[in-house]
Amino acid sequence: MAALGWLTPRRRSATARSVLAGEASAEAARKTAQAGPVLEAAEPEEAEAEPELEELEEFPVAGDDLAAAFFDLDNTVMQGAAIFHFGRGLYKREFFQRRELARFAWQQAWFRLAGVEDPEHMQDARDSALSIVKGHRVSELMTIGEEIYDEYMAERIWPGTRALAQAHLDAGQKVWLVTAAPVETATIIARRLGLTGALGTVAESVDGIYTGRLVGEPLHGPAKAEAVRALAAAEGLDLARCAAYSDSHNDIPMLSLVGHPYAINPDTKLRKHARAHDWRLRDYRTGRKAVKVGVPAAAGVGALAGGAAAAIALHRRRR
C-alpha cells in the first residue's frame, strides 16, 4: 500500500508496522464513511448511570468542526470483545469446529472477568479469525457481520457510553470507533449506532478475497494512536479539541493525543494514570461514576463463567 503522507511527527514508540496499520485503517475508514449515508441509530436505552452532561461544561462544543470524538470499542462501547462475538457467530455458521469455539468461549469469559486486554489472548483470537476467514469473500463476511451484530452485539452496547457518543453527534461532530477488531466488523457496529465510521484492523484482500494476512499489524496500542493521528490529519482536525474514550491502559497513547481524554470502565492501570493526569472517568459497570469507585466491580462473575460453560455444553449437545 502506498504511503499516505498524512502523518504529523509521532512518538518513537511507534514502529513501521504500527504506522502502516494506522495509515491503512485511516484510509479504509474514510472510504467507508464516504461510501454511503450513516444508518439511523436506534434510541439508546436508559442507563443506570447516565453521563452527567452538565459536568462537561461547554464540551462538546456545538458547531466545532475541528473537533471529533474517538471511542474504543471493546469494554468501552460494548461489553466484551467484538472479535469473540464475531467468532461465535461464525461457528454458528459452521466456519470452524467445536474445539475452536471452546477457545473463543474461554477467551471471552476471561476477557470479561479480568476486564482488561491481554495482548496474548487478543493476538491468539486474531490469528484464529484470520485463518478462519482466509479464502472467503469480503462481501460475504460483511453480510454475515450484519447478522452477527443483531444476534450477539446489539444488546451488549453500554447505554452510558452510547449517550456520550450521541452528545458529540448532537454537537455536529464526527464520531469514530477505534478498535483492534476487523475494520469491516467495526464499520458495521459504527453504522448501526449511527456513528460516522470506524478505524479497525485491516486484513489484506486480493480481488475481494481475504488472504489471511494483515496490513501492518493489529490496530492495538501505538497503532491506534497512529490511526487517529492519520485520520485527524486527513480530516483537518485539531487533536487538542478532540476527545477520546477507552477502558484500557493499552490506549494511553491514543488518549494522550487529544485534549479531552476520558477513561471509561477503566482497568487498574488506566484508572491510576487517569487520576494522576486529571482525566475524567466514567464507570458504567457499577451504576456509579468511577471517581467514587475504588476497584472494578466483581458482580456477575459466576454468571459470566457459567455463560462460557453453557456455550461449551451447547456444542456437546449438537454432536
Residue pair 201/180 in contact by the 8 Å Cβ criterion: yes
Identify any residues that bridge with 261 across adjacent strands, giving them in sequence order: 244
Please identify which residue in the block is written with the cell numbers 464475531: 86
Cα–Cα distance measured from residue 211 to residue 135, given in angstroms and rounded to the nearest whole number: 6
In this structure, are residues 80 and 186 in contact, taking their beta carbons and an 8 Å threshold? no
Within a 10 A sphere around the Cβ of 293, how many other Cβ atoms? 16
Mark 177-211 as b/e (b = at least 16 C-beta within 10 Å).
bbbbbbbbbbbbbbbbbbbbbbbbbbbbbeeebbe
Give the largest Cα separation in the chain, rounded.
Answer: 58
Q: Cell digits for 141?
A: 463476511
The stretches of the chain forming alpha helices (DSSP H) are: 16-35, 82-92, 98-114, 119-133, 138-148, 159-170, 183-192, 222-235, 252-257, 268-276, 301-317
Q: What angle do helix axes 183-192 and 16-35 make, rounded to 10 degrees?
A: 40
DSSP SS3 for 313:
helix
- Least Cα distance to 227 among 20, 32, 62 occurs for 20
Residue positions annotated with a catalytic role: 72, 74
Q: Which string of b and e fits 67-96 if b means at least 16 CB within 10 Å?
A: bbbbbbbbbbbbbbbbbbbbbbbbbeeebb
